[in-house]
Structure 1
Amino acid sequence: MNDLHTISLRSLALFVAVVDSGSFSEVARREGVAASTISRMVQQMEATLGSQLLFRNTRNVSPTEAGMQFAGAARTMLAQFNTAQAQLIDQQQQPAGLVRINAPVSFGQRHLAPWLGELLLRHPALKVEMVQTDDFIDPLQEGTDLLLRIGELKDSRCHARVLAHEHYMLVASPAYLQRCGFPATPDDLLRHQCLLYRGVHGLQRWYFRDDRGQWQNPPVAGALVANNAETLIIAAENGLGMVLFPDWLVGDRLQQGKLVRVLPACEAATKTAPQAISLIWPRAHPLPLKTRAVIDFFVEKVGQPAYWTR
């Protein structure tokens, strides 16, 4: 037997049509080709398979035993192909399948997790696997479809969609400010309780931009240092001191009146380079509809400006 790969799906479909109709000419008329073309195609198929598939006479054609058997197998193959093709088309028209998302712990809890229910209701064929970690993740190595990362955009191997830019705010509770007063300048912070975050890179520095546009790093200290932002925010709400955190982390507390901005006219940061909140995906792969749907959804929900700043 010769190589079966020389038989195309179209050849199989035309052969099944000939078996069903019993006529080369009828199939040729329906398909808009010459009857001799279909006849030669069947002859080539018989040569490839090493078996006679059709009995031919002047009026019609009929399948041999081998032809009947092969026609049954061909129908199965064509049905499987049509099913697979339909599924792919459906997936292109409707987001479907698993999307693996990786996000920082705090941002994921506050600004991704609350929207997942609506995402899955909007796209019922979608599934989400959510991993939250503050560790570095290489999307090309970890099999992640979509990463949310906060920082500078450096990795040229990836595409990115910026959701928002991170802005830092110095905040404290009304009770603390009533007790200790408002600082007039960043230098006054040395006389205040500053609640400090210690991460994997050490104690977080506080920067403030002066009138000349230069970043200054005034000395700050306080009675509490922690490696968890939520712990420090709760401490600030309870009047223990001031915290410097991004708007997405303290915006809801400001809206609720639990915290108040301090030095609002002074630009603040913990890193002097601009920090973007971005959705990132590997450049090496085309963007599937399911991933694009997730990106579009979160872009819509965050909005412009980001909802936590309104």
Structure 2
Amino acid sequence: MLVHFGDQLVGGPHWRLVCASPDYLSERGVPQSPADLAGHNCLTFSYTQGGSIWHFVGRSEEALRVGGSLRANSSEVLREAAIGGMGLILMPSWLVGADIEAGRLQVVLPEWEADLGGTGGAIQAVYLPNRRTSRKVRAFVDFLIERFGSPPYWDVRRDT
């Protein structure tokens, strides 16, 4: 959560992580580079053409088309399938952070960043400048700060 409120900045990252269940990785092996994903069952989104093209930045820039046995328009469906050992997913840290911490999912390719395009890799609270001193806005921002924490609860390290 990246919240600007006056001079105050409370924030955390938003990145996407490639992960799979420990059972899947022990059975199929751990990919060592983005190119290795071609030999894996990658679970992807169905709502865009770009959902099956994963972009990475690391030692170089890589973009590759991935495929697998499941395409869905729900991140929760893909997440549950990955936890169940079905394949690899590319998901936001805030969605899979608790699963990684609990050992249900394991991060792979930690040295590669999923390219988020122009989003800047942050979640932001946006409000009109003339509302900065509004008590309602202040109360909402305070709630976000307290609820998500600093760093936010989903801020897992990619090298876990």
Task: Specify which of 26, 30, 42 is matched with residue 178 of structure 1.
Answer: 26
Whole-angstrom CA distance in 2 between matches of 1:216 and 1:265: 13
Partner of 2:59: 211
Q: Quote the Cα distance in structure 2 between the aligned partners of 1:224 and 1:286.
A: 44
Which residue in 1 is equivalent to 2:117? 272
Question: 1:175 and 1:286 mapped to 2: Cα distance?
Answer: 49
Partner of 2:39: 191
**Number of the residue aligned with 1:289:** 135
Q: Structure 2: any 5+ residue segments left out of the alignment?
A: 3-8
Q: Structure 1: which amino acid aligns with 2:100?
A: L
Mapped contact 1:172–1:260 kept (Cα < 8 A): yes
Q: Is the CA contact (8 Å cut-off) linking 2:11 and 2:151 kept in structure 1?
A: no
Distance in 2 separating the partners of 1:292 and 1:207: 37
- Within a 5 Å distance, the mapping from 1:9-158 to structure 2 comes to none
Instruction: Give secondary structure in 1 for the equivalent of 2:101.
Output: helix
- Structure-2-length-normalised TM-score: 0.82
Displacement of 1:275 in angstroms is 2.7
User: Partners in 2 of 1:295 and 1:180 — Cα distance?
Assistant: 44
Query: Which one of the candidate residues 207, 220, 229 is aligned to 2:75?
Result: 229
Per-residue deviation, residues 209-238 of structure 1 (Å, max 9, x unmatched)? 1314xx311221111100000000011011
CA distance in 2, matches of 1:163, 1:202: 31
Distance apart, 1:285 and its partner CA: 4.1
> What residue identity is the alignment partner of 2:12?
A
TM-score (norm: length of structure 1): 0.44
Q: How big is the shift at 1:299?
A: 1.6
Q: Residues 137-156 of structure 1, C-alpha deviation per residue, up to 9 Å, x if partnerless?
A: xxxxxxxxxxx99xxxxxxx
AA partner of residue 272 (structure 1): G
CA distance in 2, matches of 1:286, 1:174: 46
Q: Confirm or deny: 8 A CA contact 2:58 2:111 kept in the other structure.
A: no
* Aligned-partner SS, 1:194: coil
**Higher relative contact order, chain-length normalized (CA < 8 Å, sep 6+):** 2
Partner of 1:241: 87
Deviation at 1:192, TM superposition (A): 0.3
**Which residue of 2 is the match for residue 47 of structure 1?**
none
Percent of residue pairs bearing the same amino acid type: 35
CA contact (8 A) 1:171 1:261 kept: yes
| Cα contact 2:79–2:89 (8 A) shared by 1 | yes
More helix by share: 1
Runs of 4+ in 1 over 3 A off after TM superposition: 284-287
Task: Please report how far the alpha carbon of residue 168 of structure 1 lies from its aligned counterpart in structure 2 after TM superposition.
Answer: 1.1
